[in-house]
Amino acid sequence: MNTWRWFSRWLGQRFWRFWAWTLVVAWGLGGGMIRPAVASDLIGADDFLVIKLRDIQREFWQGPLIIRSGGTYSGHWFSDKPDVPAVQIDTAEPVVIQDCQIRSRSTLIRVLKPGAQVTVRNCRASALNPQAYGRAHGRFFTAFRPDTVVIEHNLLENTAGIHLNGAFVSSRKIQIRFNRVSNIVGLQSNGMGGYLDGSAAPVQFLNLERIQSSAIDVGWNEIINQPDQSRVDDNIRIFNSRGGGPKAPLLIHDNFVRGGYPFPSQLSNYSGGGIVIDGVGAKDQEQSAYVHVLDNQVISTTNYGIGISAGYQNIVSRNRILGANRLTPGIRAPAANVGLFVRDYNGYRLQGLFRGNRVIGNVVGWHRSDGQRNDESFSDCEPSLCSDVIHWPEDVTLSDEAEEGRRWRAKLKAQRLSLGPSADLCAPPLPVSQAQRDLWLASAPFEIAEHRGEDCSSAPTHSPNLKSRPSETLTRPRRP
């Protein structure tokens, strides 16, 4: 009898303890104090994934953002849909996007309204495989007839670059400066995590199309494309765009551009390259004009380094254009062509629409696919305007190209400049592999939201006040 009483008392204590703990756990899960790890908690660390519990109100990635009023926006936005941009700006009021991270299978930042005034600074942006057949990686930034665009101190990874279309309507200010760019990718998805062979969209780090302004400054950007990891067309393309005249040129200056390749890199058919002034149109005011390309370093962009294929009163001066054009020490790039060119590809010279383009004091050393030097081609340039070329004294080697990288870093140090984001952007450690990254990012249900996001840095980004270099006359490019 005593034994039975003892057993009953012991069982009752265990029963109520069990249900007490059950209620505590249920309350914690329901109230947000404790919750099970979900896929959105997956954080990359070295070669494995770590599950990290966070407060339910502090999820790192937020859904796509629509901005409908002016102001300053900071946060971490992600779009998993190939047709939904990560950030859309639907206002002409001044908008500042700063201290952010953006990832997308679509466009990363899309401006919807003409006359927009947008600043993007101190952000890290990555484009992912769209996972939709025939779709290319998303542009980092697109705008139609913008009033003001300032894109400074950002890091772009695997994006399709920046596209501004002015439709021949004057913009007040365009500044693209102090950005770091890793691999411009125009490859088209096969819908299964890979890419279609021999197929790519024509994308650029920067495509200025029909832009007109007296205040265009594209400078101090570092653009590096790696063979078989990128597919850029022209790294910088000036198409039917113009500055405000000889005293207010469209400036492309002090940029470091390395690499431009077909995909795969062993192909011989490739029309892309470094920096080009291009355009079409039967009217004088539609042509590219008053473009000054100076003090840039363009290294091994395969098909061409710098070129003028349309327009008038454009200048290419004091650039360093070097190309060993080797994929490996023993393999030359089959698509390698010419270092510096001035050619009237559209036959506008007879109409007086291709004129007055100048080449001044450029250092050039460029190897074709057969290994022979092909530094310049000035078939449509007046000899007195294109005679000043400083030829690299010897064959260009991979060591020479590496030395140009050291020269670039020394140049930045001398100017006391830093490129890319200046804050850590509150970033969690990134997964090592693309598969891990996709698993990590494509985890939570992302809803389109209108909010200001979550600040993660109170320190504003400061850009040095650099003086523009004196200009002479101006020019714009295309490709061979």
On the question of pLDDT at 314 being above 60, the answer is yes
Per-residue pLDDT, averaged over 436-451, amounts to 35
In the structure, what pLDDT confidence band is assigned to residue 432 with cuts at 50, 70 and 90? very low
On the question of pLDDT at 31 being above 50, the answer is no
Question: Tokens for 301?
Answer: 């962009």
**Would you put residue 181 in left (φ > 0), alpha (ψ -120 to 50) or beta?**
beta
Q: Confirm if 67 and 73 have CB atoms less than 8 A apart.
A: yes
Q: Confirm if 121 and 151 have CB atoms less than 8 A apart.
A: yes
Q: CA of 331: how far to CAs of 97, 271, 335, in Å?
A: 44, 20, 12
Per-residue pLDDT, averaged over 32-36, amounts to 34
d(CA 198, CA 187): 9
Q: Confirm if 255 and 236 have CB atoms less than 8 A apart.
A: yes
Q: Confirm if 136 and 203 have CB atoms less than 8 A apart.
A: yes
Q: Look over the chain and give the mean of its residue pLDDT values, rounded to a whole number.
A: 82
In the structure, what pLDDT confidence band is assigned to residue 348 with cuts at 50, 70 and 90? confident
Contacts of 77 (CB under 8 A, 6+ apart): 61, 62, 63, 64, 65, 86, 87, 100, 101, 102, 103, 104, 453
d(CA 88, CA 84): 9
Out of 20-29, 100-109, 409-418, 459-468, least confident range? 459-468
Overall number of domains in the chain? 1
Taking only Cα atoms into account, the Rg of the chain, rounded to an integer number of angstroms, comes to 27
Please report the pLDDT score of residue 198 as a whole number: 77
Please give the model's pTM, rounded to 2 decimal places. 0.79
On the question of pLDDT at 298 being above 70, the answer is yes
d(CA 338, CA 262): 16
Start-to-end CA distance of the chain, whole Å, equals 103
d(CA 438, CA 432): 11
Angle (nearest 5°) at CA 27 between 23 and 33: 140
Please report the pLDDT score of residue 41 as a whole number: 32
Higher-pLDDT residue of 350 and 267 is 267
Per-residue pLDDT tens for 100-136?
999 999 999 999 999 999 999 999 999 999 999 999 9
In the structure, what pLDDT confidence band is assigned to residue 57 with cuts at 50, 70 and 90? very low
Please report the pLDDT score of residue 199 as a whole number: 82
In the structure, what pLDDT confidence band is assigned to residue 146 with cuts at 50, 70 and 90? very high
Higher-pLDDT residue of 241 and 42 is 241
Per-residue pLDDT tens for 256-294?
999 999 999 999 999 999 999 999 988 999 999 999 999
- Using DSSP, state whether 13 is helix, strand or coil: helix
Please report the pLDDT score of residue 61 as a whole number: 81
Per the domain annotation, does 354 fall within a domain? yes
User: Tokens 């081609």 belong to which residue?
Assistant: 377
Per the domain annotation, does 451 fall within a domain? no
In the structure, what pLDDT confidence band is assigned to residue 420 with cuts at 50, 70 and 90? very high
Per the domain annotation, does 402 fall within a domain? yes
On the question of pLDDT at 43 being above 80, the answer is no
* DSSP 8-state code for residue 158: S
Q: What is the DSSP string of 259-292?
A: ----SSTT-S----EEEEEE---SSGGGS-BSEE
Higher-pLDDT residue of 453 and 98 is 98
In the structure, what pLDDT confidence band is assigned to residue 307 with cuts at 50, 70 and 90? very high
Dihedral pair phi/psi, residue 2, rounded to 5°: -60, -35
Per the domain annotation, does 125 fall within a domain? no
Per the domain annotation, does 323 fall within a domain? yes
Per-residue pLDDT tens for 184-230?
999 999 999 999 987 899 999 999 999 999 999 999 999 999 999 99
Per-residue pLDDT, averaged over 64-75, amounts to 94
In the structure, what pLDDT confidence band is assigned to residue 150 with cuts at 50, 70 and 90? very high
Per the domain annotation, does 464 fall within a domain? no
Per-residue pLDDT, averaged over 139-161, amounts to 97
Per the domain annotation, does 468 fall within a domain? no
Q: Confirm if 443 and 52 have CB atoms less than 8 A apart.
A: no
Per the domain annotation, does 209 fall within a domain? yes
Please report the pLDDT score of residue 13 as a whole number: 55
Domain boundaries, position 217: 145-422
250: β partners: 291
On the question of pLDDT at 349 being above 70, the answer is yes
On the question of pLDDT at 450 being above 50, the answer is no
